[in-house]
């Protein structure tokens, strides 16, 4: 029998463990609502933190760009794909994050998966936070460097690992905002450790760019390691499909490092450039983010975060406490409500869905065993009534859980 037939059994095994994933077909509606397989749901699962994916300014930028540039880029940026729009975007991104130079990629996953192997290789050493995003992990694997994983946010352990490593080239990898916990890395200490041990720091700010720092300039700007304070040993990476509401990513930093990445990153050289229409959409988005509109959207987002945290704080509602649920300490748009066991997390997700709410349950192995959670993602597209609706539904579900376990 051909091994190809085994895929039926392997898929059945996924079903047996409730691990088979299914996609929903969605159409955006008003605000944070999505039409999902024909049903209108209030969504708390999007990383469109500022609601910019639906902004009229971005739509208009794309319409104009299509008339001017057409659709596809036609070739790698190393050949004829590097449009004047993409070049302008790179200068604007560098300016926005206060770093000397930026390189614009068509996707965030591909960026990290391929810049890590461009920077280090066999005989070199990588140091990676245990909760880093999959694309950093995959980049580490591709690089063939020795990988040292340190416990999440345990910078003492990182210090010890860096000190013990005999490698001459050391690269530290960290998310700036951790995607399943919503906490922010201690970037100042990470940078200080890199100075002490002559290491390079690569920060992935997929969830911070547009939201954190002055004018949304990101997590690195928030700690002053940009502009006059820019460091020769930091590479800053951020994505453009989350708070920026479009698609793609960029890496920014010292000229010699960015120039090296331009020369050696395979997903840059051997992939068709991002279409100019997307670069123009990002440029329009960046203007919003840095301007009064962005400030207003960030205020909205902060208000929703405060509203949710107040509503779920210990003591605020006995039902949440009685169910044993805990909101993790996060100041960002990612607000994880830890429920504990997988079945309860799934049944709460289902109960919310019955009430027209889409809040994703995240289970191991994406998160540690026993910490299944609802990953509540807030956005400037939510209004106060949306968060109230969520709070009411969570309280009802908590009361049911507390009763079932009493
Ligand atoms: C989403 C995400 C990426 C991938 O970016 P895409 O542009 O969606 O491919 C990379 N890193 C982190 C931390 C992310 O959350």
Q: What is the DSSP string of 287-339?
A: HHHHSHHHHHHHHHHHHHHHHHHHHHSTTT-HHHHHTT-EE----SSEEEEEE
Using 50, 70 and 90 to split pLDDT, how confident is the model at 86?
very high
Is the pLDDT assigned to residue 406 strictly greater than 80? no
What is the tens place of the pLDDT at every residue in 98-155?
999 999 999 999 999 999 999 999 999 999 999 999 999 999 999 999 999 999 999 9
> 274 and 105 in contact (C-beta within 8 Å)?
yes
Number of domains in the chain: 2
Distance (angstroms) between ligand 1 centre and the Cα of 108 equals 5
Q: Distance from the CA of 192 to the center of ligand 1, in angstroms?
A: 26
Q: How many helices (H) and strands (E) does the chain have?
A: 15, 15
Please check whether residues 284 and 343 belong to one and the same domain.
Answer: no
Q: Name the domain boundary from 223, 258, 290.
A: 290
CB-based pocket (< 6 A), ligand 1: 107-109, 112, 133, 135, 175, 179, 204, 206-207, 239, 241, 249
Indicate whether 8 belongs to any domain: no
Query: 249 and 334 share a domain?
Result: no
Inside any domain, residue 265: yes
If asked whether residues 227 and 313 sit together in one domain, one would say no
Whole-model pTM: value is: 0.96
Tell which atom from ligand 1 comes closest to the C-alpha of 175.
Answer: 13
Please state, in angstroms and rounded to a whole number, the distance separating the CA atoms of residues 125 and 273.
31
Residue 1 belongs to a domain: no
User: What SS3 state is found at 169?
Assistant: coil
Q: Is 203 left (phi over 0), alpha (psi -120 to 50) or beta?
A: beta
**Which of the listed residues 109, 111, 282 should we mutate to test ligand 1's pocket, taking the one with most ligand atoms within 8 A of CB?**
109
Lowest-confidence region among 12-21, 92-101, 182-191: 12-21
Residue 15, domain member (yes or no) = no
CA of 400 to the centre of ligand 1 (A): 35
Q: For a substitution probing ligand 1, which of 47, 132, 135 has the most ligand atoms within 8 Å of its CB?
A: 135
Q: What is the mean pLDDT of the chain?
A: 96
DSSP state of 363: -
Place of tokens 């010699």: 256
**Residues 324, 221: one domain?**
no
* Centroid of ligand 1 to alpha carbon of 398 (angstroms): 32
State the distance from the centre of ligand 1 to the C-alpha of 239, rounded, in angstroms.
6
CATH of the domain at 348: 3.90.1150.10
Atom 5 of ligand 1, nearest CA residue: 108
Task: Look at residue 21 in the predicted model and tell me its pLDDT.
Answer: 87
Q: Which atom of ligand 1 is nearest to the CA of 247?
A: 7
Q: Using the mean position of ligand 1's atoms as its centre, give its distance from the Cα of residue 16 in Å.
A: 29
Domain of 165, CATH number, reads 3.40.640.10
Instruction: Report the distance separating Cα 82 and Cα 279, nearest Å.
Output: 11
Whether residues 182 and 224 fall in one domain: yes
Lookup result for tokens 């309280």:
395
pLDDT single digits (tens) 383-394: 999 999 999 999
Helix spans in 104-145 (H): 108-119, 134-143
Query: CA-to-CA distance for 37 and 34, rounded, in angstroms?
Result: 9
Q: Is residue 47 situated within a structural domain?
A: yes
Instruction: Give yes or no: residues 199 and 329 share one domain.
Output: no
pLDDT for residue 20: 85
User: What is the residue-wise DSSP string for 197-217?
Assistant: TTEEEEEE-TTTTTTSSGGG-
DSSP-based three-state secondary structure for 54: helix
Give the whole-angstrom CA distance, residue 48 versus residue 54: 9
Which pLDDT does position 317 carry in this prediction?
Answer: 86
| d(CA 397, ligand 1 centre) in Å | 31
Alpha helices in 165-265 (DSSP H): 187-196, 219-222, 255-264
- Assess whether 174 and 213 both reside in one domain: yes
Single residue among 290, 325, 350 that ends a domain in this structure = 290
CA 161/CA 219 separation, integer angstroms: 25
Measure the CA–CA gap between 125 and 116, rounded to whole angstroms: 11
User: Which residue among 253, 268, 290 closes a domain?
Assistant: 290
Residues 227 and 114 in one domain: yes
Same domain, 103 and 201: yes
Task: Let me know if residue 64 belongs to a domain.
Answer: yes
* Ligand 1 atom closest to the CA of 240, numbered from 1: 7
- What span, in angstroms and rounded, lies between the C-alpha atoms of 240 and 5? 40
Beta bridge pairs of residue 377 = 334
Residue 277 lies in a domain: yes
**CA distance linking residue 361 with residue 345, whole number of Å:** 6
Average pLDDT over residues 4-22: 91
Ligand 1 atom closest to 133 (CA): 13
In-domain check, residue 186: yes
What tokens were used for 399? 């009361």
Residues 339 and 280 in one domain: no
How far apart are the CA of 116 and the centre of ligand 1, in A? 15
Claim to verify: residue 66 and residue 210 sit in the same structural domain: yes
Q: Which residues constitute the domain of residue 146?
A: 56-290
Q: Which protein residue's CA is at the shortest distance from atom 12 of ligand 1?
A: 206
Strand partners, 36: 26, 39
- Summarised one tens digit per residue, pLDDT across range 265-290 is 999 999 999 999 999 999 999 999 99
pLDDT band at 403 (very low <50, low <70, confident <90, very high): confident
Q: Are residues 276 and 313 in the same domain?
A: no
Mean pLDDT along residues 353-370: 93
């Amino acid at each position: 029998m051909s091994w190809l037939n085994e895929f039926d059994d392997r898929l059945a095994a996924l079903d047996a463990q409730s691990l088979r994933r299914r996609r929903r077909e969605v159409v955006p509606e008003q605000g944070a609502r999505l039409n999902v397989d024909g049903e209108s749901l209030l969504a708390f699962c999007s990383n469109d933190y500022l609601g910019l994916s639906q902004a009229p300014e971005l739509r208009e930028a794309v319409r104009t760009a299509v008339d001017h540039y057409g659709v596809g880029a036609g070739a790698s940026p190393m050949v004829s794909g590097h449009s004047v729009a993409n070049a302008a975007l790179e200068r604007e991104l560098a300016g926005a994050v206060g770093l000397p130079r930026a390189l614009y990629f068509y996707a965030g996953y591909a960026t990290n998966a391929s810049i890590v192997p461009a920077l280090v290789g066999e005989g070199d050493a990588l140091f990676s936070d245990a909760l880093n995003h999959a694309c950093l992990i995959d980049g580490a694997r591709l690089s063939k460097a020795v990988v040292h994983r340190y416990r999440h946010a345990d910078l003492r352990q990182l210090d010890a690992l860096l000190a013990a490593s005999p490698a001459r080239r050391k690269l530290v990898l960290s998310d700036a905002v951790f995607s399943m916990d919503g906490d922010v890395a201690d970037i100042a200490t990470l940078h200080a450790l890199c100075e002490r041990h002559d290491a390079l720091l690569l920060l992935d700010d997929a969830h911070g760019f547009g939201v954190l720092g002055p004018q949304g300039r990101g997590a690195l700007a928030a700690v002053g390691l940009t502009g006059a304070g820019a460091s020769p040993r930091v590479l800053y990476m951020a994505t453009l499909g989350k708070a920026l509401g479009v698609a793609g990513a960029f890496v920014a930093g010292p000229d010699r490092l960015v120039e090296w990445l331009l020369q050696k990153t395979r997903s840059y050289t051997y992939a068709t450039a991002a279409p100019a229409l997307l670069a123009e959409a990002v440029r329009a988005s960046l203007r919003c983010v840095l301007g009064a509109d962005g400030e207003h959207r960030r205020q909205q987002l902060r208000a929703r975060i405060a509203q949710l945290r107040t509503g779920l704080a210990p003591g605020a509602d006995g039902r949440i406490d009685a169910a044993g649920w805990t909101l993790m300490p996060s100041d960002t748009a990612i607000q994880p409500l830890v429920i504990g066991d997988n079945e309860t997390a799934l049944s709460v997700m289902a109960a919310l869905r019955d009430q027209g709410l889409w809040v994703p349950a995240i289970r191991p192995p994406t998160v540690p065993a026993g910490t299944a959670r609802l990953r509540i993602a807030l956005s400037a597209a939510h209004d106060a009534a949306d968060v109230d609706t969520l709070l009411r539904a969570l309280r009802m579900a908590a009361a049911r859980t507390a009763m079932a376990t009493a």
